[in-house]
Amino acid sequence: MSVPAERAGSAAVAGARGFLTVLRDHDLDAPVRQRCTTLQINVGKICNQACHHCHVEAGPKRTETMTAATAERVLELLAASRDVALLDITGGAPELNEFFATIVERARALGRRVCVRSNLTVLFEPGMAWLPEFYRRNGVELVCSLPCYTGANVDRQRGRGVFDRSIEALRLLCSLGYGQPDSGLDLDLVYNPLGAFLPPAQAELEQKYREELARLYGIRFRRLLTITNMPIKRFAEMLERTGEYERYMSLLVQHFNPATVGALMCRDMISVGYDGSIYDCDFNQMLEMPLVRQGAAQTLWTIDNIDDLAGTAIATASHCFGCTAGAGSSCQGALS
């Protein structure tokens, strides 16, 4: 079962009025891409976990993965695009792609920052013991999933035993310098709500994480990023099964915050799928809503330079209310 981005029906559902209509009601223009400073690539849907909230629907049985030719084209465009400062690598578990290390090393050789979105437990998969030192040696910025500082909540969302392995991974990374003051090794944690509600205030929750993780496990980190669960794919299907889809969409619409619109991540990033297709963001990618320029969907092979995508219109739908509800939500946490 799949829930479309725009749904007809109840007025409580965001698609009944549309995201652009709400923007106009607040005298806001439809979002347009500015210069692209972040290139995010999804290198595949293979993952060692199958989380309930996953908008990618990643898991151990998925086979989709980025090929050598596509990885090479990513690096060619990265070299040609002066404005792009950050390569943001995600998945699935991105480390399970066979070209992952090559992409990281060559991007760093180009002088670009590299961020990897890790589920932490992948460090203990067979053959992956090299990862922590590889991260440290290449100065990789880590953004790691930890949806709570208590074991029961994490295991309920991500699977039995995930919390203990995540804590073990974080302690290992901290021993290498990650999260330590003046180490230059950035370690951020990600909180996703455990159900159909908005994240709490980011600063307050971050302080609680700091206190509990330091007290119980000696773990330090740079920032906590709070990210709203998007009503698409696996999370949307869960909402449908529990009869909460319309209530959740209504919650997002009712908490629309116009102050977040100017900081939306789609304004200065693009998202590239494992097959080389280009999207405005990771969420549009999962809904197969491509970035369109001059009437045509774009891929890595239809452009010569990522910088040329500035000024393109951004595709929107009802799921965009997830990024603009409350304090807002992006891959870098709250927006306001």
Report whether CATH 3.20.20.70 matches the domain 34-240+265-316.
Answer: yes
Three-state SS string over the chain comes to: CCCCCCCCCCCCCHHHCCHHHHHHHCCCCCCECCCCCEEEEECECECCCCCCCCCCCCECCCCCECCHHHHHHHHHHHHHCCCCCEEEEECCCHHHCCCHHHHHHHHHHCCCEEEEEECCHHHHCCCCCCHHHHHHHHCCEEEEECCCCCHHHHHHHHCCCHHHHHHHHHHHHHHCCCCCCCCCCCEEEEECCCCCCCCCCHHHHHHHHHHHHHHHHCCCCCEEEECCCCCCHHHHHHHHHCCCHHHHHHHHHHCECHHHHHHCHHHCEEEECCCCEEECCHHHHHCCCECEECCEECECCCCCCHHHHCCCECCCCHHHHHHHECCCCECCECCC
Domain ranges across the chain:
34-240+265-316
- The tens digit of pLDDT for each residue in 176-234 reads 999 999 999 999 999 988 789 999 999 999 999 999 999 999 999 999 999 999 998 88
Average pLDDT over residues 71-82: 97
pLDDT at residue 292 tops 80: yes
pTM of the model: 0.92
Average pLDDT over residues 14-28: 81
pLDDT at residue 3 tops 70: no
